[in-house]
Amino acid sequence: MLNKTGSLFLQTALYLANLNPKIEHTNFFNRTEAIHRSADDIVINTIYNVEKGTDVAAKCYGELGCYSINPPWTDISRPVSQYPESPEKVKPKYCLYTRHNKHFCQELIYSDSKTIYRSFLVPTHKVYFIAHGFLENADRNWIRKLTAELLANNDVNVITVDWGFGSSPPYTQAVANIRLVGTITALLINTMSTKVGVQPEFCHVIGHSLGAHLAGYVGNILQTKFNRKLGRITGLDPAEPHFSKTDPIVRLDPTDANFVDIIHTDATPFIEGGLGMDEPIGHLDFYPNGGENQPGCDKGMMNYIQQEKNSFIKGIRKFLGCDHVRSLEYFTESVNTQCQFLAVECDSWKNFIAGECFDCDDDNRVCAHLGMNSFHTVQRQKAGLGIIDAPYSRSMVKLFTITQSEAPFCRALYRVTVIISNSTESIEYGGEIGLFAIELKGVNGDTGFINLFREQHFVPGSKHRQVVAGINVGRIKTAVLKWEHRMTMNILTWRFGKTLIHLHEVHVDTIDEPRQRIRLCTYNYVEPVYSSVPVNLHNCNDMPKNEI
């Protein structure tokens, strides 16, 4: 994201990351004073102390445990670490929402079981926890929307984890505070389990950014303190700074729940403007659009400022956070969509786009649905298995998919192979430089034109393959292919008459159900495709024998 717009925006991002929204409307000098004052009051540990061998005492908060800032909590990847602030300062709030109270909070307190007894909590129903990130609180539109989607999907319990008093700057303090919030959340789950019978295996913690690592602490404390294990954690673009390349105990990892799924949407290195982690840290790690730059997040800073009614601060935050926020937008959409949101295991985005990983029937490859239904891999669906009630068998599986640039984001995946003819006419004419686009037509509609490949030299006999995304048209019947000639400074690309290319055929594979593999041809099998003239393609198997 920011690597395209320069280091000025990176500096702006770092500055804004240390703005407390509660003091946003004060002047610059007052804000700066408040930031420094909050940092001066806190004991910190540094990599300098670690290298000297200094042993820093742990800080304890009674039944909430003791918190060390010795290694691995301080190391080269997190050169400054702090103690969590006191429970009275952080004071996380837990609001229960059910179908009986969709719009008003029933506060749950781990140390007061009456708040649980008197609530609408249904112990036999699934429990979803939603945890926000840095500079946020639970009164965010995305949390309200996700809560509504979860309640619309099923009769469940939704609990929002509001740690807004602990999410203020400096960032290192917020990083420390999620350790305390993770412990309190684990204590609440244990109280719910011992007092009313909620099963931790049926609890699902959904965390965005710092909230993703908070979820990891919940799972870890449940295991180490109560010998219980969470059913599932979903990490929505887990925060990179102070977590990347750290010891697993410091961050979210696959041991924190029976099933851990991650959606990476802003995995560009932090120094280049990314906020999320790149390395896989779950059982299934999804990288939509490669996991770095999301389509639709390149509209320009002024566009976002205008969207926020000309508020520079809000506009720049939205601009800088667009990729980071897409993870929660994808997940929220996945809760109730009929679209499959299918992703495919592959070793790299490059190989996925090139169509090297496009077979869900391969027993060694995982295909799974990004988002809400990701625990239902295609293989598990075939086996008729449902909720994860035991540790997932593999970990750090990288999966890729493609989304639309705006909601609804989910799209079907197609692998398109264009084969250039090696006929005598094609060889005599020679290759051409240009661009292809295809429109797929099926029983449920058409995709509109989808660009294929990069501009390149298409030579006789060559094959070109790419995975693209479009609306799910169902069973494909026909297609329209368009080719545009391009001239370069190379005199060999110049043409003074009609430009054309000799097409052999086009293959299209689908991965969404129902699966299909179709060969498409022109009516006249040897007719050339002229630049800027769309050509209709039909199923080769339906063509008269003498035409193919």
Give me the residues paired with residue 179 across strands. none
Q: Judge whether 324 counts as a catalytic residue.
A: yes
Residue tagged active-site, from 132, 204, 208, 324: 324
Place of tokens 């985005």: 349
| Count of CB atoms situated within 10 Å of the CB of 137 | 17
- Locate all alpha helices (DSSP H) within 229-311, ordered by sequence: 301-307
Q: What is the DSSP string of 475-486?
A: SEEEEEEEEEE-
Do residues 130 and 140 lie in contact, with contact meaning Cβ atoms separated by under 8 Å? no
Among candidate residues 186, 130, 141, the one with its CA nearest the CA of residue 163? 130
Residue tagged active-site, from 119, 162, 237, 261: 237
Do residues 469 and 411 lie in contact, with contact meaning Cβ atoms separated by under 8 Å? yes
Q: What is the DSSP string of 298-324?
A: -S-HHHHHHHTTT-HHHHHHHHHHHHH
Do residues 360 and 368 lie in contact, with contact meaning Cβ atoms separated by under 8 Å? no
**What is the bridge-based pairing of β-strands 500-501 and 127-131?**
unpaired
Residue 190, H or E segment: helix 171-196
C-alpha 541/C-alpha 547 separation (Å) is 11
List the Cα angle 387/392/395 in 5-degree steps.
140
Q: Judge whether 193 counts as a catalytic residue.
A: no
Length of the chain: 548
Q: Judge whether 25 counts as a catalytic residue.
A: no
C-alpha 72/C-alpha 85 separation (Å) is 19
C-alpha 261/C-alpha 348 separation (Å) is 18
* Residue 545, CA atoms < 13 Å, CB-side half-sphere: 0
C-alpha 300/C-alpha 5 separation (Å) is 9
Do residues 234 and 128 lie in contact, with contact meaning Cβ atoms separated by under 8 Å? no
Residue tagged active-site, from 209, 334, 374, 426: 209
Annotated catalytic sites, by residue? 209, 237, 324
